[in-house]
Amino acid sequence: MKKYFVTSALPYANGDIHIGHLVEYIQTDIWVRLQKMRGNKVVYVCADDAHGTPIMLKAERENLTPEELINLMHIRHKEDFASFHIEFDNYYTTHSKENEILSSKVYFHLKDAGLIEKKIIEQFFDEEKKMFLPDRYIIGICPKCNSPDQYGDSCEKCGATYSPTDLIRPKSALTGNTPIKKRTSHYFFKLSSQRCFDFLNNYVNSTDTLQEEARNKIKEWLKKDEQGLSLLADWDISRDSPYFGFKIPDDENKYFYVWLDAPIGYYASLMNWCTSQKKDVNEYIGKETDVELVHFIGKDILYFHALFWPAMLHFSNYRTPSAIYAHGFLTINGKKMSKSRGTFITARAYLEKNIGAEFLRYYFASKLNGSMEDLDMNMSEFVHKVNGDLVGKFINIQSRCSGFLLKYFDGDVLSRDVIVNMNSFNSDLEEKIERVAEHIKDAYNKRNTSKAVKEIMGLVDQVNNFIQENKPWETSKNIANISVEEMNALHCVLSLAIRCFGKLSILLKPIIPATCDKIERELFCQGNEFLWEDIYELKIDKIKKTSHLINRISEKDVASLVEGCK
């Protein structure tokens, strides 16, 4: 048995969850469900990322306090995740007592380790708003390619990165005024130190923490200059007032930058869960723990998770992540999600069209391969895949067999032994499913869900072929006149097919948990949930009539989804 502490990246508390976000939560949830089904111990936590300038400004625009805004968003996020069957063990917020305590602990540890430095820097200041402007709140002309309207940190046209004071004709995005330069003192985490460099170099190279492509990316960041000095810049962990966040404990007027307390929020959420479960948090985050820490993230925040975060943890005496799994971005019909193209689809907008939440889970699973590649949601492929695979093939097995089983055999399902003994068709379908299940488990483990789906659908096809070859509908047409042997053979065919259906539903359960749960409870009348092991020892002796399991999706609904978001 393995033990895991798993996280998905924290959604920012200034807007609704959209389907681009859902790629990650669905990917993580599938992985977590698989581990739990296998009997591994997993605690899966997440939280709202509730601090920072954008939240402060959004609350101001909406005449709310930041606390009111983040509380509202917290409720909406929780509802959205529940609708898509994302089953966190704890969903918390970074604006919590636990996080405040942990953040200052980490800060003091780093300070004691000599890795915090106070420096005077020059930053843009909006005199009307009386605030220092973060990079994204300064707009100007790119110093490299002269494109207008570029942000203060990087140019969207030529990809150059620079500091905001390099921008030509800078303007405050808040007031349109030309900002002034003002001196201010900030706290820096000395990422450029030799100690950090050595630790990170070792961390990145000595473990299988990272995907190969991520490791290569990190290695680029870990290069040294001609003098042998680290190219990593020190990391500014402080912000000036006004700011919505945690005060730096030994300074009057400074706050922790949101990216300092956000990942600590994983630990704070875990801590909150531990309190509710009466567990000792040190069993999970202490240096000697046997619990593996697994982060699922988008490739855009690799820098924070694979550099800043492990260094922060290491030098404040906590355990470092065992694995960081990055995924790519979602494109829709081959293009970036965009409001003007109507492809910026929120979780809510999707659900309002009554398209099953599990269909999106299935579709994403069929596309994700465990790499950092982007994945494309092609709307017509989505419709065809869901209708074809889930309705046309998977559920088709049940709809072709359960009616006859109920009508002629009172729902009794023959056991595997009886089927083998009576077997006149010599099928080893169950063994085949068991053999392939090993590969499927492996693919799930590696987050290669597209491979898992492909293998499962291959088995689904074989079961459908078996039914097709044995044509139970032909025998039953003539049911009054058939011999006892023929009746037994029919019972065998139907029993075997429905047993295979049970096994297939276990294989699909991490992806479409609600439907498989219904199959267990209603069709198989199970009191206990099926686990992965049940594939090998499936105990089904009876089926009952179920309510409708899955509806087809209509192309019209999916088209209106994209239309409706314009």
Residue 191 backbone phi and psi in degrees, to 5 = -65, -25
CA distance 230 to 410: 74
| Shortest spacing between CB 451 and Zn ion, in angstroms | 40
Residue 94 backbone phi and psi in degrees, to 5 = -75, -15
Q: Which is nearer to Zn ion, 160 or 222 (CB)?
A: 160
- What is the Cα gyration radius of the chain? 28
Q: Which is nearer to Zn ion, 17 or 142 (CB)?
A: 142
Neighbours of 426 (CB within 10 A): 6
- Count, in order, helices (H) and strands (E) of the chain: 21, 17
First to last CA, the chain: 49
Q: Which is nearer to Zn ion, 158 or 168 (CB)?
A: 158
Q: Which is nearer to Zn ion, 37 or 142 (CB)?
A: 142
Q: Which is nearer to Zn ion, 164 or 328 (CB)?
A: 164
CA distance 230 to 214: 19
Strand-pairing partners, residue 327, are 298
| Contact letters for Zn ion, residues 129-168 (x by CB under 5 A) | -------------x-xx-x-------x-xx-x--------
| Contact letters for Zn ion, residues 92-131 (x by CB under 5 A) | ----------------------------------------
Burial class (CB in 10 A: 0-12, 13-18, 19+), 418: middle
Q: Which is nearer to Zn ion, 160 or 559 (CB)?
A: 160
Q: Which is nearer to Zn ion, 111 or 157 (CB)?
A: 157
Q: Which is nearer to Zn ion, 157 or 279 (CB)?
A: 157
- Each residue of 56-95: b (16+ CB within 10 Å) or e? bbbbeeeeeebeebbbebbebbbebbeebbbebbbbbbbb
| Shortest spacing between CB 329 and Zn ion, in angstroms | 21
The residues in 495-534 that bind Zn ion, with binding defined as CB under 5 A, are none
Q: Which is nearer to Zn ion, 149 or 251 (CB)?
A: 149
| Shortest spacing between CB 167 and Zn ion, in angstroms | 10
| Shortest spacing between CB 171 and Zn ion, in angstroms | 16
The residues in 353-382 that bind Zn ion, with binding defined as CB under 5 A, are none
Identify the helix (H) or strand (E) that includes residue 325.
strand 323-327
| Shortest spacing between CB 225 and Zn ion, in angstroms | 24
| Contact letters for Zn ion, residues 444-463 (x by CB under 5 A) | --------------------
| Shortest spacing between CB 149 and Zn ion, in angstroms | 11
CA distance 299 to 372: 7
Which three-class secondary structure string do you get for 157-184? CCCCECCHHHCEEEEECCCCCCCEEEEE
| Shortest spacing between CB 158 and Zn ion, in angstroms | 3
Q: Which is nearer to Zn ion, 166 or 412 (CB)?
A: 166
| Shortest spacing between CB 53 and Zn ion, in angstroms | 24
| Shortest spacing between CB 136 and Zn ion, in angstroms | 16
Number of residues that bind Zn ion (CB under 5 A): 8
> Is 82 one of the binding residues for Zn ion (CB under 5 A)?
no
The residues in 269-328 that bind Zn ion, with binding defined as CB under 5 A, are none
Residue 277 backbone phi and psi in degrees, to 5 = -95, 5
| Shortest spacing between CB 143 and Zn ion, in angstroms | 8
The residues in 537-556 that bind Zn ion, with binding defined as CB under 5 A, are none
| Shortest spacing between CB 164 and Zn ion, in angstroms | 14
Residue 292 backbone phi and psi in degrees, to 5 = -85, 135
Q: What is the DSSP letter of 237?
A: -
What are the Cα distances from residue 362, in Å, to 8, 368, 519, 559? 19, 10, 17, 19
Q: Which is nearer to Zn ion, 154 or 396 (CB)?
A: 154
Nearest to 441 by CA among 30, 24, 7: 30
Strand ranges across the sheet with 235-236: 131-132, 116-126, 180-189, 235-236
CA distance 264 to 102: 7
Q: Which residues bind Zn ion (CB under 5 A)?
A: 142, 144-145, 147, 155, 157-158, 160
